[in-house]
A and B are shown apart, each in its own frame.
Chain A
Amino acid sequence: MKRLKLILLRIVQIIPVLLIVTMLAFWLSNVSAGDVANVTLQSKGIQPTEESLAAIREELGLNDPLPVQYINWLKKACRLDFGVSFQTNRPVTEEIFSRFPATLELAISASLLAVIFAIPLALLATRYRDSAPDHVIRVMSSIGATMPDFWIGLMLLYFFGVQLKIAPIVAGSKIQNIFLPAFTLSIQYAATYTRVLRGNLVEINRLDYIKAARARGLSEGGALVKHGLKNAILPVITLIGVNFGKLVGGQVAIETIFSWNGIGQFAISCMKVKDLPVIQGYIIIVLLAYVIVNLILDVVYMYIDPRIEVE
């Protein structure tokens, strides 16, 4: 019951976020309202004149008061209708949904891989702290956190693709294809999570309840896994949520290197030509994905830490 209340509370808290971001996205189109009329005309192949501009303004409702324009826009946005791309003349939703799932897939895989790598590495580093494994892991995570991902990607591609001929260089949608780009993206996050987790685990390892678990007969590693991990992983869950925001917006470099048909490249190309409907749609879809994933992470957090209270 307490948890259900908390989840509902979180959902309610999302509403102002959605409102503010949609307002910003809408405002974006408004600062360059002159452009909108102009660009729309041009995309239809009509020469902009005084009359044609006035007509298209009327048609697009650009003469209405701002709040009315916003509400009208929001109503459409709620139906995932962001209009037509200036660049391609196809519906924005179609353009986005032909690319966004690939990005989402990559973002989720990279986030999961990062945690999957970080947990055993952090446990190992904590169990053998201040000795060889810990030092090796520390150096590895320093390198991992600082190496640019496109460079890692190129190296991996060269090594696996060209040298070993294992991974297909041109990606499709199979698991083996997603592994390299997801792995590349996950490295910097795996490095960060490993360090955060190790720090927390070392702190927790000093606590009495770990000693007490060992006094019951658990091994040091067992006590860390059974009693340390649950407490140590909480801040990492928050970090996963934050970093997911970066991942889900698309990764231009990685998409290019691995020929991954994600949203990143498309979004950049639309920004170059001020394809406003697409940019607006992009902002909203990315935001929705971010919000939903963070909501799920909140629920996970609640199930791990029963101490969370409803205020």
Chain B
Amino acid sequence: MCNEEAVLAVKDLKTYFYCKGRVVKAVDGVSIDVYKGRITAIIGGSGSGKSVMSLSILNLIDKPGKIVDGQVLLHGKDLLKFSEKELRGIRGRQIAMIFQEPSCALNPVVKVKKHMYEAVRIHDKGARMNNLLDGFRQTLLRVGLSEPDRVLESYPFELSGGMCQRVMVAMGLVTNAEVLIADEPTSSLDLTTQAEILEELLRLKEEGMAVILITHDLGVVAQTADDMYVIKDGKIVESGTVREVFANPKNEYTRYLMDPITIHN
């Protein structure tokens, strides 16, 4: 897809859940390459393993789940071999993640400004809230929150779902990570706001960030992504540049995603 070296390369990743004597192979041999200055889309239906894959990249899988095999190479170094302490230095600083369910991913009893402050402060012990507030306001404006001061002083439970989602995106931006994993960052937004957020992702890509965009919306992929992977039941069934795949979808599932109605009839 690209001649350059991948910033992040996932190789044959397998994450299984062991529940009640059953094994759920949520991610079952996924390999993807993510490049600087490109948006890599992961597309698949509900339960196909997209969120589990993102958490696996950060090595954040808890029991009963386990990463049983594979590599997550950041600049060629395998994160799965890192110690917990080393990983903490990577999480949020080099790889930031925007969670899928914004209202669940923000602590209801902690103010937005404290959330944003924490994101910065974890990796920069010298950071002071007062010096950061201006930057936070700018970031919130960038993601389309027109009253940044009110939002900063609000608790997440006082904001709408869409506003929380934009706060989540803003938090992904404040740390200037190299890789941004955006798990369905526009799922609960109206079309205008969705366009704004995607615009912001495109800008980040121009600035050189590597973006993983997880979505079930092929329209979004077509508009923004450079590379794409189609995932089904924990396996990659199709991959290539967006142009290639759209022009010539090889897998039946991809064709189904592209035109579910015609195929059904």
Chain A residues in the interface with B (C-beta under 8 A) = 207-209, 211-219, 226-227, 230-231, 304-307
Contacts of B171 in A (CB 8 A): 216
Q: A207-B104, A230-B107 are in contact. List 11 more A-B contacts (CB 8 A).
A: A208-B105, A209-B108, A211-B55, A212-B97, A213-B118, A216-B118, A217-B89, A217-B90, A217-B91, A226-B118, A306-B155
Q: Tell whether, in the assembled complex, residue A215 and residue B99 are in contact, meaning their CB atoms are under 8 Å apart.
A: yes
B110 at the interface (CB under 8 A from A): yes
Q: How far is the CB of A5 from chain B (nearest CB, A)?
A: 17
Q: List 20 A-B contacts (CB under 8 A).
A: A208-B99, A208-B101, A208-B105, A209-B105, A211-B55, A211-B60, A212-B99, A213-B107, A215-B92, A216-B92, A216-B118, A217-B90, A217-B92, A217-B122, A218-B88, A218-B118, A230-B110, A306-B109, A307-B155, A307-B157
- Within 8 Å CB of B175, what residues of A? 216
Tell me how many residue pairs across A and B have CB atoms closer than 8 Å: 69
Chain B residues with Cβ below 8 Å from A231 are 107-109
Tell me whether B122 and A209 are in contact (CB under 8 A): no
The answer, among A207, A218, A304, for a CB contact under 8 Å with B109, is: A304
Question: B residues engaging A (CB < 8 A)?
Answer: 55, 58, 60, 84, 88-93, 96-97, 99, 101, 104-110, 118-119, 122-123, 155, 157, 171, 175
Contacts of A305 in B (CB 8 A): 109
| Distance (whole angstroms) from the CB of B169 to the closest CB of chain A | 13
The chain A residue with its CB closest to the CB of B175 is A216
For B109, list chain A residues within 8 Å (CB): 230-231, 304-307
Cβ-closest chain B residue relative to A304: B109
Complex Cα distance, B104 from A233, in Å, reads 19
* A-side contacts of B155, CB under 8 Å: 306-307
C-alpha gap A218/B121 in the complex (Å): 10
Given A216-B119, A216-B122, A230-B110, answer yes or no on A211-B91 (Cβ-Cβ < 8 Å): no
Residues of B within 8 A of A304 (CB): 109
Task: State whether A214 touches B122 (Cβ < 8 A).
Answer: no
Known A208-B99, A230-B109: A214·B104 in contact at CB below 8 Å: no
Among A213, A217, A218, which residue has the most Cβ atoms of chain B within 10 A?
A217
CB-CB under 8 A from B88, the residues of chain A are 217-219
Q: Which of chain B's residues have a CB closer than 8 A to the CB of A216?
A: 91-92, 96, 118-119, 122, 171, 175
The smallest beta-carbon distance between B128 and chain A, in angstroms, is 18
For the complex of A and B, 10 pairs with smallest distance between CB atoms: A217-B92, A208-B104, A216-B92, A212-B105, A217-B122, A208-B105, A209-B107, A217-B91, A215-B97, A227-B107
Closest to B93 in A: A217
CB distance from B35 to the nearest CB of A (A): 22
**Chain A residues within 8 Å of B89, by CB:** 217
**Which residues of chain B come closer than 8 Å to A211, judged between CB atoms?**
55, 60, 99, 105
Complex-state Cα separation, A155 to B264, whole angstroms: 77
Q: B60, B89, B90, B105: which has the most chain A beta carbons within 10 Å?
A: B105
Assembled-state Cα–Cα distance A207/B110 (Å): 15
